[in-house]
A and B are shown apart, each in its own frame.
Chain A
Amino acid sequence: MEIPQGSSIVSPQTFPYMVALFTSLVGLALILEVLRGRYATPDGNEPGDPFVPANFKTMAILAAAIGLHVILLEIAGYVVAATLCFWGVAFAFGSRKYLKDLGISLAFAGIVYFSFTKGLNINLPSGFFEGVLGK
């Protein structure tokens, strides 16, 4: 880290070092606790509930839907990105009515887009609908 010259009495490194020390200490304490067999219960479970292995497939689909939104937003515009994201999350959560979902996704994205850009004057990327939707 570059420290600018003429820094004041407290260096900009002092507090981060304190945080680092604290983080290391509680991290160590957590490792010790887990080694001693004291696990916490996952959110929403009661102690003693049977262990449910995570379904990484649905999780990956959901993460992909979010990731797609991040990538597409400024390239393809809000409506496309949000429609696909909405559709993908619904799919990850087990919905299999592809066409109905697509309609609802498009309606959701469209309503949000118009109420934000026209109603609240908050700019959202219009993407390749630029000419069609106006701005």
Chain B
Amino acid sequence: MGNSFAMLMDGFQTAFTPTNLMFGLLGTFLGTLVGVLPGIGPALAIGLLLPITLTVNPTSALIMFAAIYYGAMYGGSTTSILLNTPGESGSVITALEGNKMAKAGRAGAALATAAIGSFVAGTIATLFLAFGAPTLAEFALTIQPAGYLSLIILAFATVGTLLGSSRIRGLVALSVGLVIGLVGADLQSGALRLTFGNLNAIDGIETVTVIVAIFALGEALYLASRHSLVPVEVLTMKGKAWMTKEDFRRSWKPWLRGTAIGFPLGVIPAGGSEVPTFLSYGVEKALSKNKDEFGKGAIEGVAGPEAANNANAAGVLVPMLALGLPTSATAAVVLVAFQSFNIQPGPMLFQTSPEIVWGLIASLFIGNALLLVLNLPLIRFWILLLKIPTHYLYAGITTFALLGAYALNNSTFDLQVALAVGFIGYLFRRFGVPITPLIIGVILGPLAELYFKRALQISQGDWHILIDGSFPKVIYSILILVIIGPLVWNFKKKFAVNKK
């Protein structure tokens, strides 16, 4: 604990150098800019901006990413409130109440409670991250490969079955991701798998290409196919983005409750920001004295879920940094950002690269504060961005996504992959298949294989090692409870209904 505090102070020292501060500032600006653009969530925002950091030193680049990460979330809530087009699942709820508030002329209060709530939740949750992640990393050093494998399988199961409306479609998305992750030379033996004789495929499929293509190109193709080009109504904001005393009184408890719900659900692999924001909304609705306002623009319904969303984003960084396990699409992109500098997040990270990881955590605090200071006064500037016509917006997103796919390796093969993955993204959207499980599959699939092999090497090929020891047993028990439990329960319910 005391050690963490000292390290965090060192981190602030790293983050406060003029260069790094400048990159932090640039990151908050770019993050908000891209996050405000309709249809771009934080995962795509970071994916699109990844090439920008190719030539920057790792510490500055990761500080910039931390700023982009929070900035994109801030920007996303602005779009949800004023445009009713949430860029990611976490802001769906914000759009629900926030857009109603904006329609009733209370856009300023909605934006303010979202921004201040995000700041409060982000700061508290980052504190928990700073002290929780090293502890978790220390514990994680004792986890055996079989234990890691069980954690990954748990993440697969939760992300695959909790997202979207259909479990089977989530698992289908996961399996497509796993197959994409297999392409290329096997790390240990060098055997070529699924390359079909293509020399470019030996190094595997770039994760960033997959992410950028499935979000940007997939979305563009889908929107084009639906030719739903009715211009969306941008709501105007009267007055300043600020709240009255009454708004404050109604907001502070939802902020804290949202934080309490969002952070823990980010740490455990509960499948992204969908669950905590929905939960927070439900809690606020149940506790509110103004229940009749819900659905018509209740400020609690913006304050709680926005706080939960931001706290969740910080929570997701805990397993990402301490275990190397991303459980949301956004965390997955941050992990890729680390990997592009040959830094592997995981238990060793806090020992091998303390200056980077603590600089990153410190800059999360700084970025969060900068966002609040910058965004409330600049809100009118961001609103201007919402008026970009759809055709230019998607032209820009598509062209920039292709640039991102190309600039990574300067290879047209990556562009061909991007086009193909874009079509998969189109099909997924058309047939209601969730996208995040695919990304988790691409990233965690190769890791799962690695731990699987290591475990079997330790046991000399005895498969019992996979369920040996208390840690894997605990994890698999949780898995059975979480996945099989609801199935049995549903079945019983159906059975009861049929009997009647």
Partner of B189, one of A4, A33, A61, A104: A4
Indicate if the CB atoms of B419 and A7 lie closer than 8 Å.
Answer: no
Write out the residue numbers on chain A whose beta carbons fall within 8 Å of the beta carbon of B178: 19, 22-23
A99: interface (CB < 8 Å): no
| Separation of A29 and B191 alpha carbons in the complex (Å) | 31
Q: What's the minimum C-beta distance from A108 to chain B, rounded to whole angstroms? A: 6
Residues of B337-388 whose CB lies within 8 A of A: none
Nearest A residue to B53 by beta-carbon distance?
A: A120
Write out the residue numbers on chain A whose beta carbons fall within 8 Å of the beta carbon of B399: 69, 82, 85-86, 89, 108-109, 112
Nearest B residue to A18 by beta-carbon distance?
A: B452
Partner of B432, one of A4, A43, A85: A43
| Separation of A7 and B190 alpha carbons in the complex (Å) | 9
Number of residues from B at the complex interface, CB < 8 A: 74
**Chain A interface category by residue count:** 35 or more
Q: Contact string, B2-30, partner A, CB cutoff 8 A, digits 1/0?
A: 00000000000000000000000000000
Q: What's the minimum C-beta distance from A130 to chain B, rounded to whole angstroms? A: 16
A-binding segment of B125-133, B214-222, B303-311, B489-497? B214-222
Given contacts A19-B445, A23-B179, A93-B229, whether A29 and B407 have CB atoms under 8 Å apart is: no
| Separation of A121 and B456 alpha carbons in the complex (Å) | 45
| Separation of A109 and B395 alpha carbons in the complex (Å) | 11
Indicate if the CB atoms of A95 and B175 lie closer than 8 Å.
Answer: no
Write out the residue numbers on chain B whose beta carbons fall within 8 Å of the beta carbon of A26: 168, 171-172, 174-175
| Separation of A83 and B412 alpha carbons in the complex (Å) | 17
Nearest A residue to B454 by beta-carbon distance?
A: A10
Indicate if the CB atoms of B396 and A10 lie closer than 8 Å.
Answer: no
| Separation of A82 and B402 alpha carbons in the complex (Å) | 9
List 7 extra interface pairs beyond A15-B452, A70-B402, CB under 8 A: A4-B191, A8-B457, A15-B453, A40-B433, A42-B430, A82-B402, A93-B229
**23 chain-A/chain-B pairs, Cβ below 8 angstroms:** A4-B189, A4-B190, A8-B188, A9-B457, A13-B191, A15-B453, A19-B175, A19-B179, A26-B171, A33-B166, A33-B168, A38-B166, A40-B165, A40-B433, A42-B432, A55-B226, A59-B225, A62-B224, A85-B398, A93-B229, A108-B396, A112-B403, A124-B407
Interface residues of B (CB under 8 A from A): 51-52, 54-55, 164-166, 168-169, 171-172, 174-176, 178-179, 182, 186, 188-194, 217, 220-229, 389-392, 394-396, 398-400, 402-403, 406-407, 410, 412, 415-416, 418-419, 422-423, 426, 428-433, 445, 448-449, 452-453, 456-457, 460-461
